[in-house]
Structures are given as structure tokens and as C-alpha cells.
Amino acid sequence: MSKRFLKALKSVPGRLNPVSPEEGVKLMMDNATAKFVESAEAHVRLNIDPKYNDQQLRATVALPKGTGKTVRVAVLCQGDNIAAAKAAGADFAGADDLVEDIAGGMLDFDLLIASPDMMPKAAKLGRALGPKGLMPNPKAGTVTPDVVTAVNEFKGGKVEFRADKQGIVHVPFGKLNFTAADLQENLVAIVAAINANRPPGAKGIYWKSLYIASTMGPSVMIDHTAVEAQVGK
């Protein structure tokens, strides 16, 4: 560990001492001392076992203050939707031509949206897109007949999240040049979305822990019940 990180680590509470979201965000911001604008990340451990279908979690959340990142969006669609998707801000939009470009190795995008009628053709891209997590999926909001709305939403701050094999959700929720209030508002939106999409097989206590951290900073444990209390306010 670097001297910078070790110094920052001394300023945060221990792993068993959760703090309020206000204090946690302040600590995260105070310890974001890298020479670039760091991202804010939330790490949520849930009491689920994703190896069971009814305990899997995959959904989206619209961050009210955006992500602070430029998202490159590609859209697989046909007819008038191609021009409409481009007008909405899609970086790439097309039908068979875009399928062939992607199959040939073109992956200059962060997100791929597809209209339902294009999914049979997108199936051939599974080997290229699957390992990178780019395959369109209805649960992620990336398979939809309304590609214009999807482009607007993802360009405006909508992000996908999912639980990994250990039942942990990792979600970016802004940049460290945001205000503390904006980061807190995004964090509340994430907590609300995770609760709203609770898997049907999740029994008993759902939340185990919530940590936030900047890209290069130490993690801070947050009292998730205090964040939940702010939902809807």
C-alpha cells in the first residue's frame, strides 16, 4: 500500500463502525487525493446466493445527478429507428451493417441497446459481447422497442447493476468533483433501486453491509438504514 493510502486509511472508522451517509460521503471526498478526478463507488453485500435463479439481482437505476461519465451507446435497430436513435445521441446505430461491424471486432461503445426484432441477429454476437457484459438484456433495460427513450436514459445517467457470485453489488454513483449533496442523492437512488428489485428468493435480512469508496481511496462503511430512511424524501 502507498503512504498516501495508509494515511487516508487512518482517517476512516473501522470496519464495524458504520457512519451516516453525510459523514461517509465527506470522508470519501476528503480522502480522494489522487491526481485525477476519482469515481465514487458503492459496494453492497446482500444476503443472497445468486447461484439460485430466484436470488439473482440484475436491474437498472437512474442516477438523478448522472454519472459524470460520457457513455458511448450503440443501437441495433431497423428502419426509421436508426435515424431516431442517432438523433437521440447514439454514437452508433444500424442493423445488419452494425452487426457485421461488431462481429468484425468493432467494440467502440460502452453499452449496446437492441430492439426486440434485432435480437435474433444479435445472438451471433454472444461470443464477442458476452465476456465483456455488453450483450443486450431485457432485465438491464437494453432490449426495448423504444430505443430513443433508452438512449436518452442511459446517456442521462441510467446504469445497470447486478450481484456478483458472492452476492455483492458494485455500482458507480458519480465523480468526486460532484457536490456532496449530489453524491448522496445518487446513493439514495441506488439503495432504493436495490430494495425495489429484491429477488423473490431473498429471505430474512436482505442487507449485510454498504461501503462507499473513491477509486483510489479507502472504503467507508455506511449505515444503510440511514440511507433507506431518505428514500422518497
| Set of cell numbers at residue 176 | 468526486
Q: What is the pLDDT of residue 10?
A: 58
Answer yes or no: are the C-beta atoms of 216 and 38 closer than 8 Å. yes
pTM, 2 dp: 0.84
Per-residue pLDDT tens over the stretch 213-223:
999 999 999 99
Q: How far is CA 54 from CA 80, 162, 225, in A?
A: 38, 14, 24
First-residue to last-residue Cα distance in the chain: 40
pLDDT at residue 5 tops 60: no
* Domains of the chain (ranges, CATH numbers): 8-67+158-228 (3.30.190.20), 73-156 (3.40.50.790)
Query: Is residue 2 scored above 70 in pLDDT?
Result: no
The pLDDT of residue 232 is 77
Q: Report d(CA 4, CA 217) in Å as an integer.
A: 9
Q: What is the pLDDT of residue 12?
A: 64
Quick one: pLDDT at residue 33? 86
DSSP 95: S
Percent of the chain with pLDDT over 90: 85
What confidence tens digit (pLDDT) does each residue in 164-187 have? Answer: 999 999 999 999 999 999 999 999
Task: Indicate whether 228 pLDDT > 80.
Answer: yes
- Average pLDDT over the chain reads 92
Measured CA to CA, the distance from residue 120 to residue 99 in angstroms comes to: 11
Q: What is the pLDDT of residue 97?
A: 96
